[in-house]
Amino acid sequence: MKRNPIVKLLSFFLLLTSASALAQLPLDETQFYARIKPGTVLPQNLLTTKTAVFYPYSMTQKELELAQQYFQRSGIDAVAYFVTDLLMAGRDVSVNMAQSLNSREITNLIVFQRGSDFFKLTLFEYNRKANFVEPDAPTWVSQHRLLEELMKGLYLATANGGLKKQNYLINDFPETGFMINAIDGRRNEFYAIDLKVDPLAVPKFGDEVLDKELEEIMKAYPFKYTLTEPGLSEADLRKQGYLFVLRFVKARAGVAKQVLGYPVTKSESAIVSISYVSEQPEVRNISVNADVYKFYFKHIDSGNAYLGTKWDADESWQQAIVNQLRGMKIELKIN
């Protein structure tokens, strides 16, 4: 079905609106759930529109199939399953995730959490923006020790909620395996020579302590740069004369590599990363499921990404920036 160009334009505007406020984008689990108030209200359009599901990597295929069976019985058209990392993997991933959801005409989101002795389900209306949910949005949140009991609770809530039901052709099995690409332009495994002359924007975190650390680390950057406010869009940065911006991805190591276009095999349990704890590079093995940061330089006009010549992610954002800056200086032969 051909989409209305006015609707597409509105969707793009909504993305730009939310993307212009970096501090509002979910950068970790705490920030994401802080925007969601617990509730027992189901969206009125839940059984007439499409829903996307986000799940932790620890959930098994069998558990996802059980969830899909109850979605089908309830009339919830869960059309796509994504790993939860992609909700909070950094600005570029968040914006592209929102574009993907919008292109699929997703209206509601379901997010699973799994603890050592519980499953939790959070359901809310998707706001079509890169921060995914409005702070005052109605939500349905429930938790149980057993996944099946949790899903039965959702089924009973939909059956007794007086919702209009139009979803009948619902998938029998969960559609998983979807990935989001963080890079819109060309992907480059080297450093941009133009950084020698073009100014770099380095967005602050919006936290006084973190921003002070960022300021100290960036003193090692050999070219022209400025620490910029976290709420500036790339259009605003460009108007101020910046041609490049420092970006990062934060996710489990395996996911971080995938969204940046690096190959990852299912058999990998650890990923080799180069770190500059001292002046000389050190080889580290980081678990494929460990949360890491990977920084890169992005050309604002083209969307081209310059990742560097080596995979240099680290569990610490501070060390991840050090790795990127030190690697660049070595490759460009800068003392």
Mapping DSSP to helix (H, G, I), strand (E, B) and coil, where does residue 299 land? strand
Residue 134 lies in a domain: yes
Same domain for 149 and 66 = yes
pLDDT-based confidence at residue 164 (cuts at 50, 70, 90): very high
155 in the same domain as 12 = yes
pLDDT band at 34 (very low <50, low <70, confident <90, very high): confident
CA 297 to chain centre: 18
Q: Does one domain contain both 149 and 222?
A: no
**Based on the structure, what is the number of domains in the chain?**
2
Please report whether residue 35 resides in a domain.
yes
Residues 138 and 254 reside in one and the same domain? no
The two structure tokens encoding residue 221: 């950057």
Answer yes or no: do 242 and 125 share one domain.
no
**How much is the pTM?**
0.90
Q: Report the alpha-carbon distance of residue 115 to residue 117 in Å, rounded.
A: 5
pLDDT band at 2 (very low <50, low <70, confident <90, very high): very low
In the sheet with 187-188, reading across from the earlier edge strand, the strands are 187-188, 305-306, 291-299, 244-252, 200-203, 225-228
Give per-residue pLDDT as tens, 46-67: 999 999 999 999 999 999 999 9
Q: Domain limits at 314?
A: 187-331
- Is residue 145 domain-shared with residue 65, that is, in the same domain? yes
pLDDT digits (tens, 9 = 90+) for 65-78: 999 999 999 999 99
Which pLDDT does position 231 carry in this prediction?
73
* 244 and 317 together in one domain: yes
Same-domain pairing of 205 and 253: yes
Residue 172 lies in a domain: no
The answer as to whether 132 is a domain residue is yes
Confidence band for 288, pLDDT divided at 50, 70 and 90: very high
- Are residues 193 and 314 both part of a single domain? yes
Whether residue 120 is found in the same domain as residue 251? no
Residue 176 lies in a domain: no
Check residue 78 and give its pLDDT. Answer: 97
> Cα-flanking dihedrals φ and ψ of residue 145, to 5°?
-65, -35
The gap between the terminal CA atoms of the chain, to the nearest Å, is 57
Binning pLDDT at 50, 70 and 90, where does residue 161 land? confident
Does one domain contain both 148 and 232?
no
DSSP 194: G
Residue 12 has pLDDT above 90, yes or no: no
User: What's the mean pLDDT when you consider all of the chain?
Assistant: 91
Q: If you average pLDDT over residues 220-239, what whole number do you get?
A: 93
Asked whether residue 170 is assigned to any structural domain, the reply reads: no
Mean pLDDT for 246-257 is 97
Q: What is the pLDDT of residues 16-28, one digit of tens each?
A: 544 444 445 766 7
Evaluate whether residue 60 is within a structural domain. yes
For the cut 90, the answer to whether the pLDDT of residue 151 exceeds it is yes
pLDDT at 15: 53
CB atoms < 10 A from the CB of 52, how many? 23
Is the domain of 14 the same as that of 61? yes
- Among 12-26, 86-100, 128-142, 312-326, the minimum mean pLDDT is found in 12-26
What pLDDT score does 90 carry?
A: 92
